[in-house]
Structure 1
Amino acid sequence: MATTTTGTRPGARALLVEFNELSPALLDRFIAAGQLPHFRAFRDSSVVYTTDAGEDAPHLEPWIQWPTVHSGIPFAEHGVFALGEGREKLTQPLLGDVLAAAGVPVGVFGSINTAYRRRPGEPGYVVPDPWDIDGVAFPRSLQPFYETVSWAVQESSRDGLPGAGQLARFAAFLVRNGLRPATVVAAVRQLVDERRTGGVAWRRASVLDDLSYDVFRTLNRRHGVRFATFFSNSTAHYQHYYWRDMEPELFDEVGDGAHADAVLYGYRRMDALLGRIMADEPDSLLVLATALSQQPWAESAKRTFRPRDFDALLAFAGIGGAVARPMMAEQFVVEPVSHDAARDALRKLQALTVDGTRLLSADLDGRRLQVGCRSDVGREGATVAGGAGDTSRAFDELFYPIHTTRSGRHSRDGALWFRTGAHRVVEGRVPLTDIAPTILDHFGVAVPAHMRGSVLPLHRAPGVPAQRSRPSSPLRESVVVPRPRRSL
C-alpha cells in the first residue's frame, strides 16, 4: 500500500513500554480492586486494544512475538524461532532502524531477540536483551552494565551475587548514570530481607527493573532520544512460577503458601514503575505493549532443570573443547570448536537418556547448539544413561531444579494501550504487525513495504493523516471518554 506522509513530525516523541506477558485479565482484576492506580490512570487516558500473538505453541514465545512487533513481519515470514536468531534472520530494517534513518534519535533498552546495531557517530544507544550471549552494547561504555544485568538474569535461579570486582564496576556505572537514592534504599532493603527472613531472593528481578529504569531515563536525556523502548520480564517470571500460589483452587499441586502475593507484588512494582514513566514523559505518546500474556497452567506440572556444572555435563557426554553458557530458564548454548565438532556434540548430547527417552532437546545452528533439559523427562531421583563409555550418573548430580513447578503458560492475548489523552476501548483483536506502522505514523515517517500491518486509528494532532488504514475492520469501539492530556 502507498503511504501519505514522507517527513518526520517535528517534536514527536514516543516510548514503547514492553512489559512482557502481562495478562489483560489480571490487569482488569487488579485495577478493579484498586491495586494498580497508575495502570488505571494510563488506561483511562488511552486507546485500548487487545492484540493477538498470531501463533500457538511452540511458536508462542516472547523471543518470537517481540521480533514480530519490531519488524512488522509475522513469524511465518521472519522465521525467528530461537533466542539469538534475531540477529541473523531479521534482515529488514526494524521499527527503530526506520526511525533512525529518518533522523529520529532512538534508544533500545533490552528489547528481546532483535537485531539493532549502531555505528560510531550515530545518535542513540542500544542495550541488548540480557539473554543475548553475543550482545554488544552501543556505545561500548554501556557494556559493563549490560554484562552484569545479563549475568543477573541468566543466573536468576541461583542465590549468589557477581564477583566483587564486577559488582564494584556495576555500582560505579550506576552512580555515574542516574542511580537514585530511593533505588539504593530499595536494593539495600532487598539484601537485608534476604539475610534476615530468607526466601525473598526472587524479588531481585523487581529491584533490577528499578536500577535499569534509572539508567534508561538518564540515557534518554543524554542522547536526546525521541523514541525509546524499555523491556521488563520480571512479572512474566513471577507468573510462570507462582500462579498456582495466587490461585491454588485451580491446581492439583499447590505451592508452599509463601508466594501467594508474588504475582500481585510484580504487578504493583510495575505499577510504580509505570507511574515514574508517566511522570517523566508527560508529552510523549506512551505505548504499553505486552506482545502476549499468560494464563493458568493447571493441567500440567512442568518443572525445568539446568546443569549444575556445564563442564561436568559436557565431560560426562564425552564432549571436549566446547564452551557452554546459560541462556534462558533451562536453555543453554554449547559452542564446539568447529562444525564437525558441533555435529559430534549434537550426537552425544542426543544420546543421553532417562528410562530410554532422550533427556535433552538440542538444535544445531552452524557450530552452535541450543540445548535444554526436556521437562517431560527431567526429574529428581532419575538416572541418566548414555554418557561417554556407556556410563550413567544420577540426574541430581548433573541437574538442579529451576525455582519451582511452572504454573503459568503463554496465551495469545496481549495488552496494547496508546496514551493519547482520550479513553477508547476497541473490542476485538489486532495483530502485532500493526504496532510498528502505528508508531511510524505518529512520527510522520513512511511505512516501508515489508511492514504489511495497518495503522491503528488514534487521536492525532491536526495535519498528521493516517498513512494506511484497515478498509473493513471487524473491530468495534466503545467507552469513549475524551480527556485532556495532563502531566502526572
Structure 2
Amino acid sequence: MLELNEVNFDFVQTYIDRGFLPNFKALIERYGFAETTSEARYEELEPWIQWVTAHTGLSLAQHGVYRLGDIMQRDILQIWEHLEGHGLAVGAISPMNANNRLKNPAFFVPDPWTPAETSGGTILKRLSSAVSQAVNDNAQSRLALSSLLWLVLGAFCYARVDSCPEYFRLGKDARVKPWFKAMFLDLLLSDVFIKETNDKNPEFCSLFLNSSAHIQHHYMFNSAAYSGEMRNPSWYISQNVDPLLDVYQVYDRIIGKIIRIFPDYRLMIATGLHQDPYPKLTVYWRLKRHEDFLRKVGVLFEAVEPRMSRDFLVKCQTPEKASAAEQRLKDIVADDDVPLFDVDNRGCDLFVMLTYPHEIGDALGFRAGNVHFKDLRGDVAFVAIKNGEHNGIGYILDTGNAVPLRERFALTEIPQKICAALGVGGMPI
C-alpha cells in the first residue's frame, strides 16, 4: 500500500499529457483508478481523519479521531493489527495518525507527529526520532546535531545506490528550493521501506509519503497544471519553477523502483484526499518556541507537544486549569484585533492552532489580557502561503484489477479490499 498523501490525479494526468511521469502513465493506462469519498463537511476533511478511516474502515462518526495524535487515546482496530491477528506479517513506514499496537511487526515507524512506538533495530528507531525532529522544526530551519548525525547514519545504512544521485541533487539545491527537504525525507523513507520489506518480506506493508500534500498546500499556484489566476509573490518563490512537477517526478521514480524490486507484490496506491486551489491569500505561521511563548503570556501548562504546521497540544493538570489556559489563549489578539489562536478543549488537554492569516511585520504586536507585547514576528516562524485546500475525493489505483478501473466508492472500503486481496476475513464494523 503506497499512500501518496493528497496527490491530485487530474494534475498527474496533465503532466502525463505533457510527456512526464512514465510510471504513473503505465499504471493508469493498464489499471485505471477509482475515486474514493469521505466526509462531506469541509472542517472534517483533514488527512489525519481520512487516513484513520482508510486504516480502520470506520468513518469519522464511528472512529471519532478528529486531531493528529488522537489515535493514541483510541482503542480502534487498524488494518495492521487485524492482519497480524490472522497470522500475517505486516510492516508500516510513517502511516499518518496510526498507533503501533502490534505484537511482532516486521517493522513499524510512526509518522513524525504521532508519539507511537517504533519497532525495529536501533538505527531505525534513532532515524525515526531524527525525522520527527527535522519535520517538526522545519519552519525554523533548525536541525539538532544529534538528529543530523542519525539522518546521515540512517541514509548511509538505508540509501540505495540508485538513489544517490537524487539525494545529491535534492541536498545540493535545498537552500534555493526548500521543498527539496521534504522530498529528500520522502525519498529516504521510501528507501527504508524498500530495504525493510526486502529483509523482512511481510505479507502486507504500507508506506506513507507526505511531501506531495505539503508542496501542494504551499506551491500549487506555481504548477503548470494549475489554470487559475492566483500567483505567489516573487519574494516567496520564483515563477520559473514547478515544485509539484518536482515531487510528482520523485514519486514516479519511487513507484518505478517498487514495481521493479517487488514484481510479485500487488500494489495499491491511495491518496486519501486531493486538493483544490485556494481562492485567497492566507499566510501560515508557527510558534518558534512553544513553551517559552506560553510562559510569557501567562498560560499555565504541564507539557506542550508540537504537531503539524500551525498546531500544538497543551497538556494541563486539571480541567479547571485547562479552561483557564483556553480562555487566556482565546483572549490573545494582534494589534489589528485579529485573534491569534483557535482552541479545542478536550478536558485536560487543549488542541491549539495558530490561525493568524496575515503578513506579520516587525511593528506588529499583540495583547494578552491587559498586557501588551511588542514584536510578534520574533515569536513566530513563517511557514507558507496557502495555495491548496482539501477536497474529500481521493484516488486509488490497484494492480490487482484485471481491467482498467473507473468507479467511485467510500474510503471506508479500503481495508476490506486489502483483506480480500490477502484472502482473510474483513474487519469488523
Aligned runs of 1:390-429 on 2, under 5 Å? Answer: 390-403=371-384, 405-420=385-400, 422-427=402-407, 429=408
TM-score normalised by the chain length of structure 2: 0.91
Residue 271 of structure 2: aligned partner: 290
Deviation at 1:391, TM superposition (A): 2.8
Between the aligned partners of 2:315 and 2:76, the Cα distance in structure 1 is 27
Check conservation: 1:330, 1:373, Cα contact below 8 A: yes
The answer on 1:323 being equivalent to 2:323 is no
Q: Which has the higher helix share?
A: 2
Check conservation: 1:44, 1:422, Cα contact below 8 A: no
The answer on 1:236 being equivalent to 2:213 is yes
Question: Which secondary structure does the structure 1 equivalent of 2:374 belong to?
Answer: strand
Moved more, 259-268 or 368-377: 368-377
Between the aligned partners of 2:264 and 2:121, the Cα distance in structure 1 is 30
Between the aligned partners of 1:289 and 1:424, the Cα distance in structure 2 is 16
The answer on 1:83 being equivalent to 2:76 is no
Deviation at 1:277, TM superposition (A): 1.1
The one-letter amino acid paired with 1:131 is: W
The one-letter amino acid paired with 1:63 is: W
The answer on 1:384 being equivalent to 2:366 is yes
Deviation at 1:244, TM superposition (A): 1.4
The one-letter amino acid paired with 1:266 is: V
The one-letter amino acid paired with 2:129 is: E
The answer on 1:167 being equivalent to 2:180 is no
Residue 128 of structure 2: aligned partner: 146
Distance 1:399 1:345, change over 3 A: same
Residue 97 of structure 2: aligned partner: 113
Query: What are the Cα deviations for residues 119-169 of structure 1, in whole angstroms up to 9, with x where unaligned?
Result: 3xx24221111111x222113633211111111222222334331x33223
Check conservation: 2:338, 2:356, Cα contact below 8 A: no
Question: Which secondary structure does the structure 1 equivalent of 2:139 belong to?
Answer: coil
The runs of 5 or more residues in structure 2 that have no matched partner are none
Check conservation: 1:47, 1:422, Cα contact below 8 A: no
Deviation at 1:432, TM superposition (A): 0.3
Question: Which secondary structure does the structure 2 equivalent of 1:347 belong to?
Answer: helix
Query: What are the Cα deviations for residues 323-350 of structure 1, in whole angstroms up to 9, with x where unaligned?
Result: 3332111112223455443333222212
The answer on 1:301 being equivalent to 2:286 is no
Report the aligned-residue RMSD.
2.2
TM-score normalised by the chain length of structure 1: 0.81
Query: What are the Cα deviations for residues 187-239 of structure 1, in whole angstroms up to 9, with x where unaligned?
Result: 34433334xxx422221111111211111112123323110010001111111
Check conservation: 1:305, 1:378, Cα contact below 8 A: no
Check conservation: 1:21, 1:291, Cα contact below 8 A: yes
Between the aligned partners of 1:153 and 1:332, the Cα distance in structure 2 is 14
Between the aligned partners of 2:160 and 2:259, the Cα distance in structure 1 is 17
Instruction: Number of aligned residue pairs: give it.
Output: 422
Residue 332 of structure 1: aligned partner: 312
Check conservation: 1:23, 1:293, Cα contact below 8 A: yes
Query: What are the Cα deviations for residues 336-379 of structure 1, in whole angstroms up to 9, with x where unaligned?
Result: 45544333322221221124443201223343322121144674
Residue 261 of structure 2: aligned partner: 280
When Rg is computed on C-alpha atoms for both structures, the one with the higher figure is 1
The runs of 5 or more residues in structure 1 that have no matched partner are 1-15, 451-488
Distance 1:425 1:191, change over 3 A: closer
Between the aligned partners of 1:219 and 1:83, the Cα distance in structure 2 is 26
Between the aligned partners of 1:262 and 1:140, the Cα distance in structure 2 is 34
The one-letter amino acid paired with 1:192 is: K
